[in-house]
């Protein structure tokens, strides 16, 4: 009797245990591309997604662009089950904007600012303008820039968070030798250490 009671309780606990899931609301993260297409990251047909959080006011973000461009080219050509996006919080990158302004209006202003960034800084990584509840702010998941989050999908779940630049080197040869760059590649399943 005691064994069957333990078995029943064990089965109940196992069947009632929560599945791997999101704890930061990233399942609901949605954004708009430069062309206005909506992207829901949890619905992308990718196994892993890297989201690099960028701000035009962040000098380490600028310095990181050559490394991100290099990673993006490699992912696109060799890793079809993975994706890298540069994401921005429109409410953070548009100066003197209040949180109560409509997203569509803020998106247009943020898009204008990022068009200049793309041209001047030669950004090749696709940019996504994140809708609320995504925010870069104190007390949230993302508190600053640059930051790169690695997610598995189905369900979308954060598994690693890089704070700071992946590399601030400018030359592709030097970037490829950078320990932090190679650690990112290892964590994202692009090579073994």
Taking alpha carbons only, the member of 87, 80, 75 closest to residue 44 is: 80
Taking alpha carbons only, the member of 106, 155, 158 closest to residue 132 is: 106
Question: ∠44-138-71 over CA atoms, to 5°?
Answer: 40
pLDDT of residue 13: 39
Task: Work out the mean pLDDT of the chain and round it to a whole number.
Answer: 89
Cα 101 to Cα 91, 112, 183, distances in angstroms: 9, 17, 40
The answer to whether residues 99 and 62 touch, using CB atoms and an 8 Å cutoff, is no
Output the six-digit token pair for 153. 């999908």
pLDDT of residue 140: 81
Confidence band (pLDDT; 50, 70, 90) for 192?
low
Is the pTM for the entire model greater than 0.85? yes
Q: How many CB atoms are located within 10 Å of the residue 151 CB?
A: 25
pLDDT digits (tens, 9 = 90+) for 107-117: 999 999 999 99
> What are 40's strand-pairing partners?
30
- Contacts of residue 31, defined as CB under 8 A and 6 or more positions apart, other chains included, come to 38, 39, 41, 87, 128, 129, 130, 131, 134
140-167: average pLDDT: 92
Half-sphere exposure for 102 (CA within 13 Å, toward CB): 3
Cα 172 to Cα 44, 73, 175, distances in angstroms: 29, 12, 5
pLDDT digits (tens, 9 = 90+) for 37-89: 999 999 999 999 999 999 999 999 999 999 999 999 999 999 999 999 999 99
Q: Distance between CA 145 and CA 91 in Å, rounded?
A: 14
Confidence band (pLDDT; 50, 70, 90) for 26?
confident
């Amino acid at each position: 009797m005691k064994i069957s009671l333990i078995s029943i309780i064990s089965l109940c606990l196992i069947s009632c245990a929560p599945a791997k899931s999101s704890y930061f609301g990233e399942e609901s993260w949605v954004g708009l591309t430069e062309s206005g297409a909506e992207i829901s990251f949890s619905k992308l047909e990718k196994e892993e997604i890297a989201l690099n959080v960028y701000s035009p006011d962040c000098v380490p973000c600028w310095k990181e662009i050559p490394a991100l461009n290099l990673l993006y080219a490699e992912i696109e050509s060799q890793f079809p089950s993975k994706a890298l996006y540069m994401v921005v919080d429109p409410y953070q990158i548009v100066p003197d904007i209040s949180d109560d302004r409509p997203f569509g209006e803020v998106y247009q202003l943020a898009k204008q600012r990022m068009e200049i960034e793309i041209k001047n800084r030669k950004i090749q990584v696709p940019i996504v303008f994140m809708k609320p509840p995504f925010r870069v702010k104190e007390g949230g998941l993302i508190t600053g820039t640059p930051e790169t989050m690695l997610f598995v999908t189905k369900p979308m779940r954060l598994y690693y968070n890089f704070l700071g630049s992946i590399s601030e080197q400018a030359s592709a040869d030097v970037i490829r030798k950078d320990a932090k760059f190679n650690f990112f590649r290892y964590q994202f399943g692009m090579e073994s250490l």
